Structure formats: structure tokens, C-alpha cells
Amino acid sequence: MLQENRKNPELQKEFVITEIMYMSKTPMNKIEWIQKLREEENLPSEGYEQLLRSPWSGEEEEFLYTNAREVRIKNYGHSIYMRGLIEFTNYCRNDCYYCGIRKSNCHITRYRLTKEEILACCEQGYRIGYRTFVLQGGEDGYFTDERICDIVGEIRHRYPDCAITLSIGERAKESYQAFFDAGANRYLLRQETSNSFHYGKLHPHTMSMEHRQQCLRDLKEIGFQTGCGIMVGSPEQKTEYIVEDLMFMKELNPHMIGIGPFIPHQDTCFASEPAGTLEDTLHLLGILRLMFPRVLLPATTALGSIHPRGREMGVLAGANIVMPNISPLEVREKYRLYDGKIGIGEEAVRSYQNLCRRMEAIGYEVQMGRGDYPRNSDEK
Ligand code: 5AD
């Protein structure tokens, strides 16, 4: 009967109309949106909105994470890429309301590593096996383009087989180009939020969302593997703002996405704001893996800081990167972006061994290769 109907154009039309009416009457549930996201790698905003809203049943969560893991395993197997993180300066000219190293925090001791100290971190990291060094710092005027290029150039010269990632905030396009030419390969710069009203709630008016987004476009244009990202549960964040973030990310098509829960810091204006939740962060990781099958997606330090097994859970929700700290132990305490940050007292070799063990325990394997983004031939 059905076969016959298909052959009859009039009946077929009716069938399609009935189906549309049916679909418009029964809103799609989370399982259906997840299926659609896996197939199409994108959703209309109402789909994202529903997926970002609680509550989730255990079955729905399992369905999301199973799909996210399948996509991740298809692209990366069970490999977890490790990045050695060097926090080389906590001076910052910005005053972001959420951040522990914001300019107006007079309760912290400021430090900056010398070129030699940074190189010593790389040397130790290289011996452990790291093949990516991430140089992260506040927006510190001391580190002029010339100084950054000098450091990047020296690391490039000594370790030609390593990837160099910079995470030093907003600069002019010419500066980014100079860093790239000196040998940097990747750049991390979170957009923090893609809603300008919300951006204004998190940052002083001297900073602008448009400029942040322009920097990200410039970085991609130059040829950096580019990373963006947000904090989950930052003060005044609304579900629809996260939807805007997802739309922005779809348009940018980044190679890396860093997301972690917002965690209050005692010396900031947001000291008594609630932290973002583990659950919301894991849901978003799963969604991002389905939206961007090949993206480099870290289980972040912030995620590990709000739950003892946060990073393992992040990996099981689709993440494929961890970034242990390889900064000198003496400065770790001073680079406290939020309270309760993990890894402050853990020596580089120990944290490496520790993470290898933890990843093995959940059936994954730490990989010390460069772990570049697998670009398609037509991709920037
Ligand atoms: N909680 C969580 N993440 C934070 N960051 C800064 N402050 C906090 C905080 N209080 C994140 C920002 C920044 C990255 C380096 O750290 O997203 O981009």
C-alpha cells in the first residue's frame, strides 16, 4: 500500500504535508536533535537551545556521549594529545572582571619568566616527551613583538619538530604575522562570549567583542591553527548567548576550542558568583564534538578543578587534549586565574605520569606527537 502511495504524486504530496504537520506539532526531543546534529554537524538555534537546557535524563546524556565518543574515535582513535603549558607572565594590562590576574588585583605577586627560564621549561618538557609547547600569559607590555619573536624563534630553532602555540591575547594583525613568521603554529584566544551585551558585563568598556572576533579572523587568515572558546556558566550567561557562541564558532570554523566552567576568584568582582557546572560543561563538550568532528578539544584544567575526575569525564564526553602545566613550580601559585586551580604543586614529570595512568584507566592512550589539526585540502 505504502509502495503504491509513493508512486501516486497526489498521495505523496498529501503524505509529505501530513508529515510536516506532524513534525510541527510534536517538538523534537533531545535524542532526535542529537541524531540530527551528528548527521548534519549543525542545528537551527532551537535545536541548540533545547540541547543546552536542563534537565537531561541519564539516557539522553549517554546517547550524547556515546555519539560524541564514536565521532572522536573515528577521527582520532583513543589518542589523547598532550601539550606542555608554560605560564610565562602574570602581568596583564586588561581588567577582565572574572580573572584572577586582572590588572587591578593587587593581592598577587607578579612575575615574568626570562627567555632562559622559558627555554629551560621547553628543555625539560622535551625530555619528558612533549612536542607542543603552549606559551600562555597575560597581556604584558614587556613582551613586545620583538621579544616574543626572539623567544619563538629560539624555540623553533632548538626544537624544529615541535609545535609552538601562543596564548597572549589581542595584538595587531602585523604582530600575529610576525609571530607566525618567527615559527609559531597555533594561537589560542577565547572569545569568552559572542553576545556584545554579555561581553560588556564581563569586561571593562576598553575592550570590545568586535576586536576580539577580528583578532580570531586575522589569526585564521594568517594560517595559524586557531583556537577560540568560552567559560561555561560565566556570570549573566544565558542559554541563548551560548547558542550565539555556537553560531559564531560555526562561522569561524576553529581548529581548537577551549571550554571550561567559570570558577570564581576571591579577588575579583565575581567572588561570590556561582561556578559553572560540571554537567553543563560536559554537555557542551559533547555538542562541540558533534559540531566539529576533527576539532582539537581539551579537557581543561578548570574542568579538572571543579571535579577530581573532571578531565576523565571530559575525555569521555568527546575531548581529546590535555594540557599539563610545565611551568617552574615556584610561579605556579601566582598564575591563579580562579580559586582551587589544580596542578599548583605537581612537578612536570609527576603530572605527566599521573595523566598517562588516568587516561589508560579509562581506555585511552596518551600521545606525545605534535597532534596537529587534520586540515582538509580546501581548509584554511
Ligand atoms: N574561571 C574560569 N576560567 C577563567 N579564565 C579566566 N578567568 C577564569 C575564571 N575565573 C579563562 C578565560 C581565559 C582563559 C585563559 O582562562 O576563558 O580566556
58-80 pLDDT, tens digit each: 999 999 999 999 999 999 999 99
Give the distance (Å) from ligand 1 centre to CA of residue 306: 13
| Amino acid code (one letter) for 88 | F
C-beta 335 within 6 A of ligand 1: no
What is the pLDDT averaged over residues 212-239?
Answer: 98
CA 99 – ligand 1 centroid, Å: 6
- The response to whether residue 302 sits with its C-beta less than 6 Å from ligand 1 reads yes
At residue 27, the pLDDT reads 87
Ligand 1 and 190: CB distance under 6 A: yes
* Cell triple for 329: 613550580
Does the CB atom of residue 259 touch ligand 1 within 6 A? no
pLDDT of residue 261: 98
Report the largest interatomic distance among the alpha carbons of the chain, rounded to a whole angstrom: 79
Mean per-residue pLDDT, 329-349: 95
Cβ(222)–Cβ(194) under 8 Å?
no
Q: What CA–CA distance (Å, rounded) separates 181 from 192?
A: 27
- Torsions phi, psi for 3 (to 5 deg): -55, -45
Of the candidate ranges 24-28, 221-225, 252-256, 308-312, the one whose mean pLDDT is the lowest:
24-28
Distance CA 339, CA 51 (A): 29
pLDDT at 4 over 70: no
Per-residue pLDDT at 210: 98
| Separation of first and last alpha carbons in the chain | 51
Residue 48 has pLDDT above 50, yes or no: yes
Give the pLDDT of residue 26. 80
> Count of CB atoms within 10 A of residue 352's CB?
22
Cβ(262) to ligand 1 under 6 A? yes
| Per-residue confidence (pLDDT) for residue 201, from 0 to 100 | 98
Q: pLDDT tens, 340-371?
A: 999 999 999 999 999 999 999 999 999 999 99
Interval 249-260 mean pLDDT: 98
